[in-house]
A and B are shown apart, each in its own frame.
Chain A
Amino acid sequence: EAGVTQFPSHSVIEKGQTVTLRCDPISGHDNLYWYRRVMGKEIKFLLHFVKESKQDESGMPNNRFLAERTGGTYSTLKVQPAELEDSGVYFCASSQDGNRGTIYFGEGSWLTVV
């Protein structure tokens, strides 16, 4: 069974440009999460989808970040325009349910804004 896959694995963009990160959850997982770790900080929750609906987006840092999950399958996280402080690693995770199991993380997408 394929795990959570993320694309691209690494991205280097200039300040002000746009980047779109993609996450394919484990097949059949309705719950999808985005987390990130920026330089020197801890891993932080960004948001949670249940199917195509945003269940909780309290961790999204500002309106330059837009997450979508059309059709309830894969998800994208767009950063527009990117700022230097957005550099870090963005993790996607998925789970089958919201309570008694666990979530599985992807390998992350490294973003460097120069």
Chain B
Amino acid sequence: DAKTTQPTSMDCAEGRAANLPCNHSTISGNEYVYWYRQIHSQGPQYIIHGLKNNETNEMASLIITEDRKSSTLILPHATLRDTAVYYCIVRPDTSGTYKYIFGTGTRLKVLA
């Protein structure tokens, strides 16, 4: 599976958009990009995933570059409750399993 690279930490002002980058330069054509977050010590929470096209749901937007070598998770109006560790994971869509490889993620701190 392709590896991902994320910045260790980021700060964002409350109410502003939080843009979290992820590099997955070795991604294969059938690998999806998934984003999860972990708030405090809770279980990882699913946010969004995509293959080629940009995706949006009630939580966030996912922007994938045309060459698919990187992506950005956008939280449009960050709140204090969005403070968490955000994980970017790639996974083949035909693997038949969600055997994720978690990295260290990005620790996002939303500032009042």
Contacts and interface: CB of A to CB of B under 8 A. Distances in A.
A80 to B, nearest CB: 24
A48 B41 contact: no
Contacts of A99: 93-96
Interface string B80-99: 00000000000001111111
Contacts of A4: 43
A105 B44 contact: yes
B42 A42 contact: no
Contacts of A95: 98
Interface stretch (B10-18, B62-70, B100-108): B100-108
Interface in A32-72: 33, 35, 42-45, 48, 55-56, 59
B100 to A, nearest CB: 6
Interface size class of A (residues with CB under 8 A): 20 to 34
B98 A31 contact: yes
A55 B95 CA distance: 12
B49 interface: yes
Nearest to B85: A43
Interface size class of B (residues with CB under 8 A): 20 to 34
Interface string B10-41: 00000000000000000000000010100001
A100 B98 contact: no
B109 to A, nearest CB: 20
Contact of B98 (A33, A43, A59): A33
A45 B43 CA distance: 14
A104 interface: yes
Nearest to A91: B43
Interface in A1-52: 4, 31, 33, 35, 42-45, 48
A98 interface: yes
A44 B102 contact: yes
Interface in A59-95: 59, 89, 91, 93, 95
B9 interface: no
Interface of B: 34, 36, 41-46, 49, 93-104
